[in-house]
Amino acid sequence: MLKNRISDKGSYPVVGALVDNQLTGLDELIRADAKVEHVTITSPEGKRIFERSLAFLLHIVVNKLIPKGVLKVKYAYGEAVYCEIDGIKVDNQLLNRIKHELDIVIEQDKPIERINLTKEEAIALLKVSHRYDQIELIRYLPFQMIPLYKCMDCYSYFYEPLVPSTGYLKVYELKKYGPGFLIIPPDASNPYRLAVVGEQPKLFTAFANAKEEAEILKVETVGELNEVIASGKISDFIKVQEALHERRLIEIADMITKDRDRVKLVLVAGPSSSGKTTFSKLLYIHLMANGLKPVTVSLDNYFVDRDKTPLDEEGNPDYDCIEAVDVKLFNTQLQRLLNNETVELPKFDFRIGKRRPSGRNVKLDKDTLLIVEGMHALNPIIAADVSEHTKLKIYVSALTQINMDNTTRLSTRDTRLLRRLVRDNLFRGHTALQTLRLWPSVVRGEERYVFPFQERADVMFNSASLCELAVLKGYAEPILRGIDSSQPEYKDAIRLLAFLSHFMGIMSDEIPPTSIIREFIGGSSFRY
């Protein structure tokens, strides 16, 4: 068994392993000559194993204490995970009871066993465990054998491994938050202490709004989405989803128009593949419909020439750092524009890696509103000399509203990764391997230069669509299958393929040409 191969390291913080570059649980039998690498809680894979395992245990405890209570693991909140118990407002007394019961089970070090069953056998056991959300999910899976995990006579489906016993889950905390609570995991840099979780009230509100949209569409899980697709109702579903995006855009445009005497500059920021470019183009259209004359400026056109790009810790070009942007030139030209001078905006030529004149001369008048879009737009050194009173700051992100089931959340970051995989393959000539290889650097850049400033936003816009992963599936699967098992990124390809296998596919025909999804799959009526 794998945990015996790890010997004295076969306990926390080792929570899994990569066996021949595939993520594996510690209770698996493996070949004697297999290549084994430890997976600790400090890695992204280990963090996911820990989170899934604790969610399973929480489900068991909530079921015991509140027989009709349904635990719902909702989304990431910084380093923590936000959860709710359906129909119940969690108070400190209830949370202490849950924590006490969890601690008992963890101290007892109960085994968590993986069992492979036929689909019919799995469905029967999930009924006994009241996992109707998972029955909806596995009904449409394209394979007959289903892995279930068992702990204390309770069964749950997980497509990725868990820890082998409850004793691995000692380092955690539960904290009341909103109507639910946060699971605070171990710190990534020191797995023997808790992660630090800062307050993010604006992000929390944005997720709450996303929840309302999911309730309107009556889809919160992949199983429920598959039911909509199988029933032939996806066309109306997509139209309603797009209408909800449209409604939010109208609200933002009307708010800007109403406050036009104050607002001179709209700053639009967001992480990679968040849809901020299409959002800015849509906002431009809605502001024009309100009688304004918006002008859009992309911070990407202010990149320094590639030979002047700073290097990261590994000696590679760091395209995501703020120093990769000529902030001085941007701020100078912005000030000139706001002083009603004519300015020729630059154009960055990505083919040759140099900035050149664009021939685009811009001058603002009393009805002109400037929209600046870019990942660094909320960084305080951008437009530093412009009065805060005249700015409206917008943060765009793909806040995934749908989860695999009630206890397995889907990562917002994975949604953006799949968007980028597809877009870069279709329009930038990048293979899936190249995109996956670059992704860790992109993530580091977001964590340093984007996420710290998201709470500066006046408005948050959620660009995610409940159906988009079912659309991206058909584009992403073929290119991910092309990654060879000898590549380190193979483990990520396998994980994403397993994740996508749970979705029934949707043809892109129904996606309108102005949809944010079109930025990534093509067919948009906008030019990029």
Question: For the residues 448-455, what does the mean pLDDT come to?
Answer: 95
| pLDDT above 90 (res 395) | yes
Confidence class for position 400, pLDDT limits 50, 70, 90 = confident
Is residue 4's pLDDT more than 80?
Answer: no
Q: Does domain 201-521 have CATH number 3.40.50.300?
A: yes
Digit-coded pLDDT (tens) for 452-462 = 999 999 999 99
Are 515 and 175 within 8 A, CB to CB? no
Residue 1 binned pLDDT confidence (cut-offs 50, 70, 90): low
Chain segment 62-93, per-residue pLDDT in tens:
999 998 889 999 999 999 999 999 989 999 99
Contact (Cβ atoms closer than 8 angstroms) between residue 211 and residue 242: no
Q: What is the rounded average pLDDT of the residues 212-235?
A: 93
**CA distances (Å), origin 94, targets 66, 90, 175, 183:** 10, 6, 11, 14
Q: What is the pLDDT of residues 138-184, one digit of tens each?
A: 999 988 899 999 999 999 999 999 999 999 999 999 999 999 999 99
pTM, whole model, 2 decimals? 0.93
210/280: higher pLDDT: 280
Specify the pLDDT at position 32: 79
- 493-507 confidence digits (pLDDT tens): 999 999 999 999 999
Q: DSSP letter at 317?
A: B
Distance (Å) of CA 404 to CA 48, 73, 204, 443, 466: 14, 10, 20, 23, 12
The average pLDDT across 283-304 equals 96
More confidently predicted of 365 and 448? 448
pLDDT of 143 reads 86
Is pLDDT at 292 greater than 80 in this prediction?
yes
Token pair in block for residue 291: 């009688």
Say how far apart CA 279 and CA 508 lie, in whole Å: 20
Percent residues over pLDDT 90 in the chain = 84
Helix (H, G, I), strand (E, B) or coil at 206: helix
Q: What is the largest CA-CA distance in the chain?
A: 75
pLDDT winner (highest mean) among 215-219, 317-321, 375-379: 375-379
CATH number of 2-112+162-184: 3.30.980
The answer on pLDDT for 33 being more than 90 is: no
pLDDT value of residue 210 = 80
Which amino acid is residue 197, in one-letter code?
V
Question: What are the residue boundaries of the structural domains of the chain, listed by start?
Answer: 2-112+162-184, 201-521
Q: For residue range 321-359, what is the model confidence (pLDDT) as tens digits?
A: 999 999 999 999 999 999 999 999 999 998 888 999 999
**pLDDT value for 3:** 57
The CA dihedral of 204, 209, 211, 217, to the nearest 10 degrees, is: -170
2 confidence band (pLDDT: 50, 70, 90): low
For the segment 282-310, the average pLDDT, to the nearest whole number, is: 95
What value does the mean pLDDT take over residues 381-403? 94
Q: Is it the case that residue 388 has pLDDT exceeding 90?
A: yes
